[in-house]
Structure 1
Amino acid sequence: MTPKDKRQQPQKAMFETYLEDIINARHPLVRMAERIDWDNCEQHFGPYWCADNGRPGHPIRLHVGLQMLKHMQGLSDRELLDQWVENPYWQYFCGEDVFQHETPMDESTMGRFRRRIGEDGAQALLKMTVELGEGTGTVRPESFRVAVMDTSVMPKAVAHPSDAKLMARSHRKLVSRAKADGIKFRQTYERSLDTLVWQVGRYAHARQYRRMHRKLGKLHGYLGRVCNDIIRQQPYGQRSSELDHHLYQSLRLLRQYSEPGHKRLYSLHEPEVACIAKGKARTPYEFGSKVNVVTTADEGFVLDCQALKGNAYDGHTAHQGLLRVFKHTGRFPLHTLVDRGYRGGEHTALSQVHITGKKKGTGTAHEQHQHRRNSIEPIIGHMKHEGLLDRCHLRGHTGDRIHAVLCAVGFNLRKVLRHLAWLFWLRNPVAFRRWVETLMAHSVPDQNGRFLPAV
């Protein structure tokens, strides 16, 4: 049923601790909460619930506020809820009036809310942060004229793939599912799996590759015999859907081991994970999904962050990324700065795509902002280290798309929060006077009257 917010009380109780009495009204988080259009959130996310059936859900502001705080602080669902009870400012941001001593919901409820709104709901939150940034002065309207685009890798929460571990795990799952369906094996070979996996790892570490491949061949043969027993006893059409799924994964592993050019499977529970090489010395190969990030050239405000399926060529992602920027901002950037990875695919009628370093651009706007192409690199780094873009724990490609957009929401909110803190500090005469005194005490004026750090 559609959530109903009944937390607004007409009269204060005597023995309750009200948040407005214990928090600072000039705190940046409080000031940002006052500038967010929560009524628009309720109108947009209200239709995701049934209007007249079931128990009323949690308030929409609570759901949206928790998702924002999660990606602003870079916390998991469980860590966020544990710290939410201790932080009165977070409770005020989520619409509470009285200080709460218990968690408002379970972490599984946050996951269901993300699945309920999907990627469209996450994009609505990103559009709201763009409007918030423009309304608070964090990003200027003219900054949308020049955008910067680049791709990165969002790793998935999977173990490092190896043929031995994948075949052993697939072997156990297949045998367990087949026994549940009544299939009887002459021999399951499960007792030998742990020893073979251990031997493969030791031989690989010692660079004894002939012995390693000999043990891998044994794992391959054992898994093939189990698959043959299942196919012989239950042909196609007589097996359950779960058994067919496990059998398909096992056959795919057998094929990729015998045919190296075949499309590889890197994870059993996340079969859509791709192996992406970005030329990094510390991590030559990353396993996850590629994300396309679009920011403004001046302030570095994120306009779009899209998770792509597979290892798509960078040049083929420019057109779709510009369409999503128009969806979030209502305008197309006149100039888009990209790197040399977009060569050959930068032709689009939506914007003038300039490959910096390839040739000199034409136009004053491009020449003025050409040096800003590299500004997107630290932004992606902040989204990974301060946010949650460094590892995605959501399930499937749909989870990747939702997670990528919410990471952009968290980055923009952190930027708005710092801007509001700067405005409050700048308008505080006492703090500004102390800053000027500190600057003059540790600096010396140059010939032009500018203060430089004293050596």
Structure 2
Amino acid sequence: MSLDVGGFDEQVTGDTITITISNEHRLIKLAQKIPWDEMLKLVLPDLKRTDKKRWWMGRPLRIRIHLGAYILQQMFDLTDRKAEQALRDNAAYQLFCGQGLVKKWHIPDHTKIEAFRSRLSAETQRKLANLISQQAVKLKFANPEELDVDSAVQEANIAYPALVNLLIKVAILAKTVAKGLNRLCHKGEEVFRVNVSHLKRITLYYFRLKQSKKDTGLLKTVRKRLWRETYAAILPVLNQLYRLTPKINHGKYWFLRQAIEKLRWRGCQLLQQTHEWLFEASPNLPVIRSLHAYEVACFNKGKLHKGLEFGRAFQLGRIGGNFLFVGECTSTHMPDAPSLPAMVRLHQRLYGEDTLASIATDKGYYSRDNEKMLEKAGAQDIYLPRPERVLDAPPEKTTGDMRALLHNRRAGIEPLIAHTKQGGQLGRSRMKSDETTKSAGYAAVLGFNLRQLMRYITGEVRPEPRKTIKHEAKRTKNDSIQAVA
């Protein structure tokens, strides 16, 4: 093979290039199969909900452009700035977003991409994710007769909630408010001062002791000292908040208003709970795990590669063909067994009442009521493993071979959850507020379903012939008989 070293000594300049996007392009094929009309019906109520209640007035919002950009953003896990840049550089992205279809087509600014996404409620984004799985069923790419259910934990966008770190964050908030008091109420004179550096030195000393595995009594003494000095530093600031509030109600001091709100509510609550635990021998640890995120729960699944996780849980359902649908998050923990009836009802609403034929879960979903509910729902093959304890439940109705097949099939949802986490924000959210964090989890499922749909449309994955689990069990049994013979 010869080498060509040309082009290294020439200056790169701008030029005109003609790019041809064929009808066989994967994004063009996907755009032709997406139910745009149904998606428009889902997003319109949110877009019509404005502050002034006059959504028909003013400069028109090109919904087709923004909805296409939102879909691309979720498919490829793009930030707002990356989505804008990709639209400028990629001709296929422009066609996907309606270039040539929309009058006065333009590339939206990244701030407008964020504004459009923020106007969509979390429930709307969940419905969009489930709509794509319904579309896959209509296109014969998915089989709703098969259902596997599992849960996934989405980590919140917070640091590890160590108690001493949270106390330092409260002190930093108090320092910000103290500077505002000095500037607005005392003409710049340093009347209030919070020495955060001193508190950080105590925190560093605490972590060094913990790393060297010192006695827990010594660690508790250092925590008490940090609490006392933090409280003594911020108490004068808390007592003077009433003087600062009238001066920052309006105008440019939004950061002070935000800091005061966090300090007054979350900061004071953390100090109170910490005092009860350290000094009053309360058995309960402080439940505040972040000053800006309220809906954060602690999860410990006992897995070797994971320790404690802080965030919220999502209930996911997998149908045949490897498409997911997501249940509504009514709490941060979303316990498995109480969530199963809602997931079955959601499956019935999405795909029909008498569609469910087989279902598989892990043992966390077992209860006698759930078993009766699945039988009443018409599921013929049920794999609801029972925990290893003495139960008075009747014997299993599903045969051993069938349960083995359902067990193996249910294991297939684990890699799908991993792909959803890697390709979106179901693993760890980049959002700050609780509502947008939940929306990002729903949108990650939307992105996964869109990627799966595109793979089917382009022929990367071939739809398997629809076979019931009973046919598989019969074939497995015949194979085992032949092997014995």
Q: TM-score range by the shorter chain?
A: 0.7 to 0.9
Instruction: Verify the 8 A CA contact 1:148 1:338 in the aligned structure 2.
Output: yes
1:112 aligns with 2:115: yes
CA distance in 1, matches of 2:397, 2:297: 35
Residue 214 of structure 1 aligns with which residue? 221
Q: Deviations over 1:374-419 (max 9, x none)?
A: 1111111111123332111223332233222211111111111111
Correspondence 1:198-237 to 2 at 5 A: 198-209=204-215, 210-226=217-233, 228-229=235-236
Aligned to 1:300: 322
Question: Unpaired segments of 5 or more residues in structure 2?
Answer: 1-15, 49-53, 250-256, 278-282, 388-394, 464-485
Check 1:301–1:398 CA distance in 2 against 1; reply closer, same or farther (3 A cut): same
SS in 2 for 1:39: helix
Structure 1, residues 135-186: CA drift from partner, whole Å, max 9, x if none?
Answer: 33321xxx21231111121111211222222101111203432563559977
* Structure 2 match to 1:336: 359
* In 2: Cα distance, 1:185 partner to 1:321 partner: 58
In structure 1, C-alpha distance between the alignment counterparts of 2:42 and 2:239, rounded to whole Å? 54
Which residue does the alignment assign to 1:77?
A: 80
What letter matches 1:264 in structure 2? V
What is residue 199 of structure 2 aligned with on the other side?
Answer: 193
Q: Which amino acid aligns with 1:340?
A: K
CA contact (8 A) 2:179 2:192 kept: no
2:284 partner letter = G
- SS of the residue corresponding to residue 145 of structure 1 reads strand
Q: Is contact 2:423–2:444 with CA below 8 Å preserved after alignment?
A: no
The separation in 2 between residues aligned to 1:328 and 1:55, in whole angstroms, is 36
Which residue of structure 1 lines up, in the alignment, with residue 449 of structure 2?
Answer: 412
Q: 1:172 to 1:373 in 2, by over 3 A?
A: same
Q: Which residue of 2 aligns with 1:346?
A: 370
Distance 1:23 1:244, change over 3 A: closer
Q: Are the equivalent residues in 1 in contact too, given 2:420–2:444 (CA < 8 A)?
A: yes
Deviations 1:197-221 (A, max 9, x none): 2222222222235554333222200
Where do 5+ consecutive residues of structure 1 fail to align?
Answer: 1-15, 427-455
Partners of 1:147 and 1:70 in 2: CA distance: 28
TM-score for both structures, normalised by structure 1: 0.77
Which of 257, 270, 273 pairs up with 2:274?
257
Task: Report matched runs for 1:34-45 at 5 Å.
Answer: 34-45=32-43
Distance change >3 Å, CA 400–CA 206, structure 1 → 2 = same
Q: Quick one: structure 1 residues 313 and 373, their matched pair in 2 at CA, closer, same or farther if it must change by over 3 Å?
A: same
Partner SS state of residue 85, structure 1? helix
Would you say the 8 A contact 1:307–1:400 is kept in 2?
A: no
Instruction: Assess, with a 3 A threshold, how the Cα gap between structure 1 residues 185 and 281 changes in structure 2: closer, same or farther.
Output: farther
Q: CA deviation at 1:35?
A: 1.6
**Cα gap change, 1:86/1:231 in structure 2, threshold over 3 Å: closer, same or farther?**
closer
In 2, the alpha carbon distance for the partners of 1:227 and 1:90 equals 52
CA distance in 2 between counterparts of 1:186 and 1:32 reads: 60
Q: 1:281 and 2:281 equivalent?
A: no
1:174–1:324 distance in 2 versus 1, CA, 3 Å: farther
Q: Give distance in 1, aligned partners of 2:305 and 2:399.
A: 38
| 2:411 partner amino acid | N
Identity %: 21
Post-superposition shift, 1:289?
0.9
SS in structure 2 of the partner of residue 144 of structure 1: strand
> C-alpha distance in 2, partners of 1:222/1:317?
45
Cα distance change, pair 107–324 in 1 and its aligned pair in 2 (3 A): farther
Q: Superposition RMSD on alpha carbons, in Å?
A: 3.6
Aligned length: 402
Shift of 1:93: 1.3
Residue of structure 2 in register with 1:272 after alignment: 295
SS in 2 for 1:96: coil
Residues 1:321 and 2:327 are matched in the alignment: no
Map of 2:438 onto structure 1 = 401
Once the two structures are superposed, residues 405-452 of structure 1 have per-residue CA deviations (whole angstroms, 9 ceiling, x without a partner) of 2111111111111112217999xxxxxxxxxxxxxxxxxxxxxxxxxx
Cα displacement (A) at 1:232: 5.2
Q: 1:364 to 1:161 in 2, by over 3 A?
A: closer
8 Å CA contact retained: 1:383, 1:389: yes
Structure 1: distance between partners of 2:304 and 2:350: 35
Question: What TM-score do the two structures reach when normalised by structure 2?
Answer: 0.72
Kept in 2: contact 1:45–1:117 (CA 8 A): yes
Q: Which residue of 2 aligns with 1:374?
A: 411
Q: 1:84 to 1:288 in 2, by over 3 A?
A: same
CA deviation after TM superposition for structure 1 residue 343, in Å: 2.8
Q: Is the 8 A contact 1:305 1:404 kept in 2?
A: no
Query: What SS does the aligned partner of 1:336 have?
Result: strand
